[in-house]
Chains A and B, each alone.
Chain A
Amino acid sequence: MSESNIIIREKTTETARFEESDADLIRRVREGERSAFNQLVVKYRNRVMGLAVRMLGDRGEAEDVAQDVFVKAYRGLSGFQEEALFSTWLYRIAANSCLNHRKRIRLQPAVSADVSALELRFPDMASNPHVLLEEKQLKLLIEEAIQALPEEQRIVVILRDIEGLSYEAIADALEQELGTVRSRLHRGRMALQERLKRLMTPEPRGSVNV
């Protein structure tokens, strides 16, 4: 075996490890390799965090809940069925955690605080300030509109249009009928669009009932 072949093989192994599937990572965790779970946390932390912030409207609480989601996932990993998708399972834990947290503290959406919290996290956007400002404003507006959605529509819209889950995966994660997911998504989108339309009108912001 030549030296170049060895190098190629090492690179292939590295690439394979970099692209390691959830199933492989889970197997390693089950074999006692804790660091493999950290890779899963890194891979999914933004998605869980996004769901938590948009569902709870408070960054600090969201971060705490998101951490707990991963702790629950770690503890429940032994009961995780191999044939299921880890992401769907994780979203189920996250959705339940957020909804339970809201029930527990009876958190009311505090729109202005939410949006400012989100705004702080937006990365810098490149060169044309006018276009970027418009995009940034639009995003803030729609984040605001999301916060105003009823909880059951909001979570479906987040999972479908922000996180990109299929209807079936959402039904699985939320343990709902497919028809329920379909109707809640449609009503949520239409409500968002209506709200966005009103927010984008040149009326003074004070008249907007958010």
Chain B
Amino acid sequence: MTQDRVQPRRRPRAWLPALGLVVLAAGLACAGPVAQVLRLRCAPIHSEPGFEKGATTDTAYLGQRLEVIDRKDDWRKVRYETEKVTQAEKFKEGWIHASALAEPQAGAAPASQPWVRDGAASLPRFDGEHSKAARHAEARKLKLAGILDLEQLYPSAKDLDAFLKEGKLGLYRTDWPVLAPTAAAKASEKSSKTEKKDEKAPEKKTAAPKDGGKQEGAK
């Protein structure tokens, strides 16, 4: 024989959604930056979210680890480690296009940079008179020095980056922007016009435009 117990009436669990909210709030508050890696050979890091905005501040390389700390449309604000020693300069931030990023694969070692050599310093050492090429040149009465001089002209990674930046090359883009003059180009055009005017009328010469001054300073 079973005794039918009268179950006490349960209160509606009103606290459950509130607890959920709390957990969600706590989770969101504790959520840190998302680590991603660069999936391209290299990609520029911009100061502003946009190809035409701001300046290119740095270059990220294949496999480099970048922490996404903010996002705006297709752009991600990333924090990355630099080679600087001081803590203040150790981490830098910038904007990078989302298409350049990928989830890091477990166990995958970061790939090396495409050009980590610094100039001709790390090229295979030429063993001078004992080399085959030297003896061939000697036998044929050729001057090998010209070719060895050419080897010394190999650019450093910094030079190559500057060269690519100057020509706007090596950027990953699904489509190239219209080659309309950008704000910087317009400013430089204006400055060149003012310079021309100044040349025509030297007595009315005024202070050099800001952009021109900056460029000169940079050079």
Do A and B interact?
no
**Which residue numbers of A lie inside 8 Å of B, CB to CB?**
none
